[in-house]
Structure 1
Amino acid sequence: MSAVNDYVKYITQTITKYIDQPKEERKKMRKEKKETREAFAFRWFGILPYVIMMNKGKREKSLKGNDK
């Protein structure tokens, strides 16, 4: 039961802190968070898209090198 009370206390403090901030500051924080957010593919699928892109790049380079 104590864990639930601690969680409710944390949520209440977080909401109160958010509401007490000026509107401009909230907008600024949202904008900063949006700018630092990772790309959609990385957020949803982790490192897998990065690995696929790296392998694709290596494959294309090796194919171009063989054409010479």
Structure 2
Amino acid sequence: MSVNEYVKYMTQQFTKFIDRSPDEKRSQKPDYTAQPVCTNRWLGLLPFAWKLFLNKAD
């Protein structure tokens, strides 16, 4: 792919992104309302760190 084709492609993608309606933008927004994992919610970062330590030790 030449540089000109790449620039053309990126320009097309950018204009598609900008021209979306507000409803489309809202529907594609990630949902951050999901509950975190129970162990992280109850005990914080310690279970996660312990899991990483054990996986690294294997």
Specify the TM-score bucket, using the shorter chain as the normaliser: 0.3 to 0.5
Larger radius of gyration: 1
Q: Normalised by the size of structure 2, how large is the TM-score?
A: 0.46
Task: Give the number of the structure with larger relative contact order, counting CA–CA contacts within 8 Å between residues 6 or more apart.
Answer: 2
Higher helix share: 1
TM-score, normalization: structure 1? 0.41
